[in-house]
């Protein structure tokens, strides 16, 4: 196999669903909406959602609880079951947008919270989304991408395009050894992450999370990054 092809398959993720082997060509898919949608929809249909905690993330809840402005334009990308969006909505935040490339979690949120504004449920590829936000909440989204430098740089750049100057990117990143040949969630280090964000954001906080859920204790970094 040619070296380039070996590199391509190095990051592939395989899983069985209904006795069919699905090959996820993940080197190229973050910008391929059809492949990304099919991949994540298949995981939802199979109930393969091991990232879901079943409730709002304690660190993000604690951060949200100290926000005085309920009219902040907030984006939660790759939100899955969107427990954070549901919590913010019930706390009176008026401009919470949930973005997911798969329609299934958006439909589930609408059914679970009928009064959540349908216009704020966006079925779209994050890298194609165009809008402006004061705050973006990161929760098991970054770690879902194949961990190439290209993908991670693209994430940081896109975040800088979506967040207004002075706005913030707040969330959780896994501080676990990066195994490119492993499976999600993909980890990394504070130094690596900070390097991707440095051109666009000022790091206000980026430290080990003190209030992670028990299975993730010691494995998460909590970050608050201000858009330059």
pLDDT tens digits in sequence order for the chain, 228 residues long: 444 444 443 444 433 333 333 333 444 557 777 877 777 677 767 776 656 677 899 999 999 999 999 999 999 998 888 999 999 999 999 999 999 988 888 999 999 999 999 999 999 999 999 999 999 999 889 998 889 999 999 999 999 999 999 999 999 999 999 876 777 789 999 999 999 999 999 999 999 999 998 998 999 999 999 999
Instruction: Report yes or no: 84 and 137 within 8 Å, Cβ to Cβ.
Output: yes
Cα–Cα distances in angstroms (integers) from residue 130 to residues 40, 127, 152, 160, 162, in the given order: 21, 9, 19, 12, 7
On whether the CB atoms of residues 224 and 172 are closer than 8 A, the answer is no
- Domains along the chain with CATH numbers: 3-46 (no CATH), 58-227 (3.40.50.150)
Of the candidates 181, 223, 182, the one whose C-alpha atom is nearest the C-alpha of residue 206 is 223
CA distance 21 to 36: 16
Q: Per residue in 104-157, pLDDT tens?
A: 889 999 999 999 999 999 999 999 999 999 999 998 899 988 899 999 999 999
Reduce the DSSP state of residue 14 to 3 states and report it: strand
Q: What distance in Å separates the CA atoms of residue 75 and residue 90, rounded to the nearest whole number? A: 16
Residues 98, 82 contacting (CB under 8 angstroms): yes
């Amino acid at each position: 196999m040619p070296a380039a092809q070996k590199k391509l398959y190095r990051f592939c993720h395989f899983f069985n669903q209904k006795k069919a082997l699905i090959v996820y060509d993940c080197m190229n898919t973050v910008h391929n909406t059809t492949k990304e949608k099919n991949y994540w929809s298949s995981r939802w249909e199979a109930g393969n959602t091991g990232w879901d905690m079943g409730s709002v993330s304690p660190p993000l809840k604690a951060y949200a609880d100290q926000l005085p402005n309920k009219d902040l334009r907030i984006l939660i990308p790759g939100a899955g079951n969107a427990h954070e969006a549901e919590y913010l909505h019930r706390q009176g935040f008026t401009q919470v947008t949930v973005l997911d490339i798969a329609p299934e979690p958006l439909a589930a949120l609408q059914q679970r919270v009928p009064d959540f504004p349908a216009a704020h449920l966006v079925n779209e590829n994050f890298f194609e989304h165009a809008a402006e936000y004061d705050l973006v909440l990161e929760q098991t989204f970054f770690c879902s991408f194949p961990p190439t430098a290209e993908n991670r740089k693209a994430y940081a750049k896109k975040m800088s395009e979506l967040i207004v100057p002075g706005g913030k990117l707040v969330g959780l990143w896994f501080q676990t050894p990066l195994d490119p040949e492993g499976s999600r969630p993909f980890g990394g280090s504070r130094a690596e992450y900070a390097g991707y964000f440095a051109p666009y954001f000022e790091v206000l906080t980026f430290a080990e999370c003190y209030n992670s859920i028990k299975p993730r204790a010691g494995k998460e970094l909590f970050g608050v990054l201000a858009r330059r």
